[in-house]
Copies of this chain bind each other. A is one copy, B any other.
């Protein structure tokens, strides 16, 4: 695992008009409709990290991930505008979240997932009454299906990366974390957030702006989309190698998330597959939490690097929609990362 300072933390944010105040408005819109998930502590994980870790347990959120925040905000707006139906591509959790939001508004929804998406995620979408289509394994393949379906059916797209209300919704998770830690009389030196398409890290940047809390991205070494984008100065498609972190498989970071993240992300940690597996097990054994590999990626980065950032470090445990079979193989020591 290695950490790369971005060296851009002092740059001005000129890429977007979203602001901290928008996050507060978003949080008010969501109040009472999502769980206020707890911020958890673990003595054993603190010992490993050499810092106090504050775990924002969005694995316990409605729909099993923080993505319900952004989906609700985006679908609210589309429903108000008279939408006839919704379509979204996703590695899984955004799709579950859109399905739940669509059901709340009694709108039909079609979700486009990779063909190797975890069956548990597909099942949760179907249980919400939405339609699932699988298409290839690459982001571009899913986007092509979305464009076609949009033309055919006249449905509205809920893009997981480029929709500003999605990013604002995801930002409320970090904003809530900062507030909960403050109410315990502490202040986060940094928050570690998993990076897939980029909405979480962009949201964290918005939520943390002006707080003095650093934003650290964590992505699989196998799919370093943010690292590559920062190096190239803009989103680029990286070779899609396999990672156990199914939620972090997008091979290209979104444009809006990149523009928001670039000036505020102080470093990006690339995490090896074995460290993701180890962190998933550590969450189980030490924190008694079921987390999915995307969340374990952030935890792995925090366990290895939190002490470099200060005494108090937040971790966005982004979701808990994991295949039971994967967890059992991890617990039995049968899981062998590639």
What is the interface of chain A, defined by CB distance below 8 A to chain B?
A: 35, 37-38, 40-41, 43, 57, 59-60, 62, 64, 281, 284-285, 287-291, 320, 324-325, 327-329, 331-332
Known contacts A60-B288, A290-B290; is A331 also within 8 Å of B320 by CB?
no
Which of chain B's residues have a CB closer than 8 A to the CB of A327? Answer: 284, 327-328, 331
- Beyond A38-B57, A288-B290, 4 extra complex contacts between A and B, CB < 8 Å: A35-B40, A288-B291, A290-B290, A324-B332
Are B60 and A287 in contact (CB-based, < 8 A)? yes
Residues of B within 8 A of A59 (CB): 288
Chain A contact residues: helix, strand, loop or mixed: helix
- Inside 8 A of A325's CB, which chain B residues have their CB? 331-332
Number of copies of chain A assembled together: 2
- A329: chain B residues at CB < 8 Å are 328
**How far does the alpha carbon of A281 sit from the alpha carbon of B288 in the complex, in Å?**
14
Which of A37, A38, A325 has the most C-beta atoms of chain B within 10 angstroms of its own C-beta?
Answer: A38
Q: With A40-B38, A60-B287, A287-B60 in contact, do A324 and B331 touch (Cβ < 8 Å)?
A: yes
Q: Which residue of B lies closest to A285 (CB)?
A: B324
A329 and B334 alpha carbons, distance in the complex (Å): 13
Task: State whether B288 touches A289 (Cβ < 8 A).
Answer: yes
Give every chain B residue within 8 A of A285 (Cβ-Cβ).
324
Q: Could you give 20 example pairs across A and B, Cβ below 8 Å? A: A35-B41, A37-B38, A38-B38, A40-B60, A43-B62, A59-B288, A60-B287, A60-B288, A284-B290, A285-B324, A288-B289, A288-B320, A290-B290, A324-B331, A324-B332, A325-B331, A325-B332, A327-B331, A328-B328, A328-B331
